[in-house]
Amino acid sequence: MGVKLDEQTRDRLKTLGETRRRSPHWLMREAIREYLEREEEAERRNLEADEAWADYQRTGQFVSNEAMTAWLDTWGTDKEGPCPEPQQRR
C-alpha cells in the first residue's frame, strides 16, 4: 500500500521525524492509527446515538436533563442516589 504525498508534506514529515527521532514511515503509521481510532470511536458514538433514538421512538421512555443533572450533581457526595427512573413521553 502506498500514499502519494506532495513535496511540502514529505518535507514536513522528514523534518518532524528528525526532530522526534522517528522515521517518516513511523509518523505516517502513527497518524493513521490515531485517525482510525478517533473515527472508529466517533462511529461507535453515532451508532449508540442511533440505537438510543430508535429505543426512544419504540418505547417513549426518557430521563429528563433536569433529573439527570440533579443525579449527577450528587456523585461523589454522601447523598448519591440511584439513577433516575425513565419517564414516558406524553
**Could you read off the pLDDT of 42-75 as tens digits, one per residue?**
999 999 999 999 999 999 999 999 999 999 999 9
Average pLDDT, the chain: 95
Q: Each residue of 27-62: b (16+ CB within 10 Å) or e?
A: beeeeeeeeeeeeeeeeeeeeeeeeeeeeeeeeeee
Question: How many CB atoms lie under 10 A from the CB of residue 13?
Answer: 19
61, β-bridge pairs: 88
Work out the percent of the chain whose per-residue pLDDT is above 70.
Answer: 100
Q: Could you give the CA distance from residue 27 to residue 13 in angstroms, rounded to a whole number?
A: 7
Number of continuous H segments (helices) and E segments (strands) in the chain: 3, 2
